[in-house]
Each structure stands twice: as C-alpha cells, then as structure tokens.
Structure 1
Amino acid sequence: MRLGLAANRLHHLREDAALFRWLQACEPGIRELGLELHTVGRTFDAIASAGLLPGYTGLRRYPYGRDGGLMKLVAEVVGLGSPERTLDGAIYLIDPVDPSSVFPEAIALKRQCVIHGKPFISTVASARDWIEVERMHAGFAPDPKADPLHAFETQTLALIAHDAMKPQMMAYAAEHFDVLSRFQRRVATGTTGQRLNELAWSRGWPPGQAWVQRFESGPMGGDAQIADLVLERQCQRAIFFEDPHVARQHEADIQLLERAVTTVTFDAVCITSPAVATRWAAAVRLRAERRG
C-alpha cells in the first residue's frame, strides 16, 4: 500500500508538532502494514532530522513542493501506469492559514483523491484513524491506543452530502445504519437531514424522534453551523460526500467547514467519499468483533 505524505511547515516546526506526534503514535502500525510513504522533500527532511522511522525502507523522498513534489503526488493518485507510481491515497496535514494549503496542487490533490475514491487525510486524527482502519482489514488485533477514536457513544457525527451525492448518502446510511446509530449524536444540513430522518423512521427509529439534528441547508449556512461545532470540539467526525465536478455557489461555506476540521487537527476525523466511508464502516465492525 502506498500513500503520499506532506505536511505544512507548522506541522513539523517543533518537536511536538503534529507530523511527529502522528508518526510516534502510528509507527508500529506503519511498519506492520509495510506502508510506503511517498514523501515531499521538506516533510521527508523533517522526519529524518527528528530521527523517526529509522531504517524504514518504505519512506521515499520526493522533491520539495516548490520543485513539483506535491504535483507528482497528484499525478500518482490518478495513476502513472505502474503499481510503483500509483498511490492508494494521500496524507496532507494542513495548516489552514498556510498560503500553500490553497495552491492549485494542494486543491488538486484532494480533488483527485475524491474523484478516484481514495482517502484524502488532512488531520492527525484522520491519519491515526486510517492506520487503525487498515490494520483491521489486514487482520491485526485492535490497538488500545485507538480506542478513544472509536468511543462513538460519546461522539457527534456530521453527515453532509452535496446534491448529486445525496442518493449515495442515503444508500450508505441504509447499509450502515447500525454503525452510524452508535454515535451519541448525529447532525446534518437541511435536506440531507430530513431524508436521513425519514430513512431512520422507516427502519424503526421512534416516530417523531429525530435520528439526526437538522441544521440549515448548506447555502443558508448549515456548513458554517457545523463548522462551529467542530471548532468547539463538539463534533468529532464528519462524513462529507463531496461532488468534485460541480462548482457550488456556497463554496466559501464548504471551505469554512474543511478549514475548521484542519484547525482542530488532533480532534476531528473527516471522510470525503463513499468508498472510503464504506471501508471505514467495515473496519468498525471488524474491530468490534475482535474486541468481543
């Protein structure tokens, strides 16, 4: 398995920076999985200087971002004709106030991951969660250090889908209703929330009792309302089915939610495509079975 890896400067600036904390927590899992990390130059240099992943042959150095390193990761997400030049997803730890986070290659990296149904991982919490997901699919025992990420009974889940993706969200919620119902609280924007409640009532949820709390529609500010929950650390996970092919009039509100998630990088997990969300739900079931 191969992932692109990059981190904005803030996330490898100090000894306790986000990149290093992720690697310290997940190094055993990275080694167990034999994960190849195709790493942009400055991020690679920071890992080497910190003495992390010593002797690990799966860490590959790419050029600096200014020399095309991030652009090469975008091309490899799409695929370049051989397994060695095809990535299964990307970890890009974003500092939302770093100008480079909105450079074309940064935006393209996320867009191509979404288009191709591959994970785009922009927070430390998402990166830790993804390692545990892949460990479950590889047959390993649950990592007790990942238990807080799976304490769904104390967490809030946001379910958001753009218009073209609402059918996929309804199908996903129907297939994984048991997993999603484990969360203490669910929130959604307007139309998506109404349809999810109707689905829940058809599945035996108490009539008149909301399965999800509905906020405003996206264009009317629902994304901003949920962004505030994320910033207040009252929403720990978002499943956000984006349509990467359509320009949205409320694009700024969508970006606001995405920036909120990366602002609280240690606390928020975000999943951006049906394929990745389905793989996550399957891993949740596997983990529950192994824990007994």
Structure 2
Amino acid sequence: MNIALIAHDKKKDNLIRFVQKYKSIFTNHQLFATGTTGQRIIDETGLDVHRFQSGPLGGDQEIGAFIANHKMDLILFFRDPLTAQPHEPDVSALIRLCDVYSVPLATNNGTAEILVKAVERGEVENRSTLKKNEREEGN
C-alpha cells in the first residue's frame, strides 16, 4: 500500500510520534512524504521514505498527481487548522482529490489511528477494488 505522510510545521512532532508508535505497520508499506516531514521521518524512525518537494514548493501537488494517477492508497495529513498556510489552495485541492478518487484521508491523529489500525487488519481494500474495476473498464 502506498501511504503519504504530510504535516504542517506545528504538527510535525505529532506525526513523528505517530509514525514511531505504528512503525511496525508502516514498515510493511511504501511511504511517501513532503520534504521536511519526510526527512524527519527518515532521521527519527529509520524508515524508508520517498520524499517529494516541500508542501509550499509543490509537494502537495506531487502527491495530488499520484492520487489522480491511482498511485496513492492512503493519506495521513496532520493539518494545522489554526494557522494560515501560504499554500492553502494546494491543500484544498489535495483534499478534494482524495474525495474524487476515494482515497482514505486522515487530517488528525484520531482519524489516522483508526485508518492505520484498519490497514493493519487488512480492512482498507477500497483502493485495490477501485483500481481493479478501472482496469477492467479500460480507464
């Protein structure tokens, strides 16, 4: 499963602690992250992470392109809703793409925990089913 890990500056520590807590689950999947977040995950957990650009420099859009091309299965985006973000339109577009392509998205620790535990139990199969149906339909 391809999992994107994204966090606004004030939420990066929360995401790092979350990944450390569930490292045994993340080890079994391909991880992707925006710039600084990805480097911190690598440095602080030892996990292998494909890094995109930083969010404000296009990383959110790169992840969005993966979503639109059916290459991303789950997004964990620890957002900071109380701080204005200079790339807010990109954030909104990423969330919209998750809705359009039925990609599970968590924007906070509570929802992320539910999704990661479902991944561990093998209950997040929606993306695999959608990909198979799209291949069969020729999309």
Q: TM-score, length-normalised on structure 2? A: 0.81
Shift of 1:262: 1.4
Change in CA separation of 1:234 and 1:282 when aligned onto 2, cut-off 3 Å: closer
Q: Which residue of 110, 113, 130 corresponds with 1:275?
A: 110
Question: Mapping of 1:198-237 within 5 angstroms?
Answer: 198-201=43-46, 211-237=48-74
Q: Which residue of 170, 176, 186 corresponds with 2:16?
A: 170
Question: Mapping of 1:31-50 within 5 angstroms?
Answer: none
- Are 1:241 and 2:82 an aligned pair? no
The corresponding residue for 1:252 is 89
Shift of 1:275: 1.4
Deviations 1:257-283 (A, max 9, x none): 112111212xx1111110121233344
One-letter amino acid of the structure 1 residue matched with residue 113 of structure 2: T
The corresponding residue for 1:30 is none
Q: Partner of 2:56: helix, strand, or coil?
A: coil
The corresponding residue for 1:92 is none
**Could you tell me how far apart the structure 1 residues matched to 2:119 and 2:69 are?**
26
Q: TM-score, length-normalised on structure 1? A: 0.40
**Could you tell me how far apart the structure 2 residues matched to 1:261 and 1:214 are?**
19
Q: Partner of 2:77: helix, strand, or coil?
A: strand
- Are 1:186 and 2:31 an aligned pair? yes
RMSD: 1.5
**Could you tell me how far apart the structure 2 residues matched to 1:262 and 1:235 are?**
13
One-letter amino acid of the structure 2 residue matched with residue 163 of structure 1: D
Q: Partner of 1:219: helix, strand, or coil?
A: helix
**Could you tell me how far apart the structure 1 residues matched to 2:104 and 2:119 are?**
14
The corresponding residue for 1:5 is none
Q: Please, which runs of 5 or more residues in structure 1 have no aligned partner?
A: 1-154, 206-210
The corresponding residue for 2:132 is none
Deviations 1:168-207 (A, max 9, x none): 0000000000111111x11100000000111232xxx5xx
Q: Partner of 2:113: helix, strand, or coil?
A: helix
Higher relative contact order (CA 8 A, sep 6+): 2
**Could you tell me how far apart the structure 2 residues matched to 1:191 and 1:282 are?**
25
Identity of aligned residues (%): 33
Question: Mapping of 1:3-152 within 5 angstroms?
Answer: none
One-letter amino acid of the structure 2 residue matched with residue 221 of structure 1: G
One-letter amino acid of the structure 2 residue matched with residue 162 of structure 1: H
Aligned pair count reads 122
- Are 1:196 and 2:37 an aligned pair? no
Q: Partner of 2:57: helix, strand, or coil?
A: coil
